[in-house]
Structure 1
Amino acid sequence: MEKITFNTIHKPGHTILENDLFIHNHNPDMLLQYDSSFIAFKRMPSVQEFEKAHQYLRNFHQYYGQKHVRFYFPDDEELSGELLAILEKDDDYTVGYLELFAIHPADFPDVQEKEEIIVEYVTDETWNDYLEFQHEQDSVYGINYAEKKKDQHLRNYNDERIMQFIAFYKGKAAGSVDVIIKEYTAEIDGLMVHEDFQKKGIGRSLQKAVMDQFKDKTIILVADGDDTPKEMYRRQNYQYLGKQYNLLKIYE
């Protein structure tokens, strides 16, 4: 099995341009989704290379009516002092980082079954429940975004490489997760629990369902470096694999 890196992580869209410095990924189906239209640098750019790449991506996104630029940097490399100095002069840049985790299903802690929690993969019978739950969660980012996301959820439903799970708490849709299936890995994506059903074991039950479904694969996920859930993953025996810095700038 090849080494698991951030390149293993699924990104919707496709490659527009690849050269010695970067890969340009673009998702025409979700222009409002920052994380699927971006430049991923293969090596740390100089200030001049970054500024040139920035202008290229800005021009490309303006053509499609997109109001952001997003950049990802090589795994486990710190941003250079020269690059940070440029970024500090522009308050509109948000600097963040992601952390990559992996676990073998057998290492996931036991989960006590609760009658009030039912987790199952999405079928025609539960599709509307899943879609309504997603729409409510996606609406946090605006109705237009949520409406566009409906089409993406449907594409995922019809994609044999993706499996969608939904959790019910006392009969009400309470959580969901998508799983991107590859030869050796199953990637947990979009794990979420409704705010009304937090701290009831729903997130853990969703993960356990994934572990049970893909016992022969390595389960992987990405957590935002500033998010609390990453500490939960460590407690659940996930192994830390690496870190990746990213930049986001949104234009009004």
Structure 2
Amino acid sequence: MKQITFEDIYTLGNVVAENNQYRHFHYPEMLIRYDSNFIEFKNLPSLTEFKEVEKYLRDFHRKNGQQHVKFYFPADREPTKELIAYLTDTGYETGFLELYAIQPKQFPFVPNHQDIDIQVVTDKSLEKFLALKHQHDLEFGSEFAKQKAELIKRQFEDPNIIQILAFYEGSPAGYVDVIVSKETAEIDDLSVDEQFQRKGIGSRLQKFVMESYPERMVILVADGQDTPREMYQKQNYQYLGFKYEIQKVYQY
């Protein structure tokens, strides 16, 4: 099994520009999805270099009616103090992601629960899947939720993306997407509805993935400042590295 890096993580978007310094991802089908419209630096930029690329992306996004800029720094590299000072002074949100991986057989034992039913989404359950995700996506605005629903429908047709829905006592309660490649199964957008949390649904969703892809390395990216990362560590996932992300939303 090859060494897993952030390069193995699925990116929804098209590379529209690339050079020795960065890759520029753009996804015209959903311009307000920040995670699909960004620049990923290959090398840690100096402040002068960052400002030049920042202007390029800002101008590009303005032409497309986009109000944000987003950047990723190279894996396992911290921004310089000079960069951090500039980002702080100019109103950027700064965070970092953590990469985890696990062999399915290393996932802890999870007992079956008669009230929890895990299913791959089909034509019959797609509307329930859409409704639960829509409810959660409204947190980011009605327009985002509307566009996300169309994205979910497109992904439903993608044979490499498996959508999984959890029911608790017959009610849609949680979900996860699995992006399948030759060597990995990537867990993405794992979520349990607030009213059904602390019932073991998240663990059952993950166990379903482990049982479905026993020969693949299961990978995921966690918010380095959020609590689920602690759950992954307790579940025997191996920490593989970090990556800083920054973004800024402009008010016209």
The reply to whether TM is greater than 0.5 is yes
Gaps of 5+ in 1: none
How many pairs align? 251
Measured in 1, the distance between the counterparts of 2:3 and 2:53 equals 28
Runs of 4+ in structure 1 deviating by more than 6 angstroms, as ranges, are: none
Superposed CA deviations along residues 79-123 of structure 1, whole A, max 9, x for unmatched, are 112211222322x20110000000000000111111100001101
Q: Hey, what does 1:199 align to over in structure 2? A: 198
Q: Hey, what does 1:161 align to over in structure 2? A: 160
Q: Hey, what does 1:221 align to over in structure 2? A: 220
Q: Hey, what does 2:102 align to over in structure 1? A: 103
User: What code does the residue aligned with 1:59 have?
Assistant: D
Matched, 1:65 2:68: no
Superposed CA deviations along residues 104-146 of structure 1, whole A, max 9, x for unmatched, are 0000011111110000110111111111111111111111111
Measured in 2, the distance between the counterparts of 1:38 and 1:8 equals 17
Matched, 1:173 2:172: yes
* 3-state secondary structure, aligned to 2:62: helix
Q: Hey, what does 2:50 align to over in structure 1? A: 50
User: What code does the residue aligned with 2:32 have?
Assistant: L
* 3-state secondary structure, aligned to 1:29: helix
Q: Hey, what does 1:208 align to over in structure 2? A: 207
Alignment of 1:107-186 (within 5 A): 107-186=106-185
Give TM-score, length-normalised by structure 1: 0.98
Across the aligned residues of Structure 1 and Structure 2, the Cα RMSD in angstroms comes to 0.8
CA deviation after TM superposition for structure 1 residue 198, in Å: 0.6
Measured in 1, the distance between the counterparts of 2:5 and 2:105 equals 21
> What fraction of aligned residue pairs are identical, expressed as a percent?
47
Gaps of 5+ in 2: none
Measured in 2, the distance between the counterparts of 1:217 and 1:163 equals 15
Give TM-score, length-normalised by structure 2: 0.98
Measured in 2, the distance between the counterparts of 1:7 and 1:62 equals 28
Q: Hey, what does 1:246 align to over in structure 2? A: 245
Q: Hey, what does 1:89 align to over in structure 2? A: 89
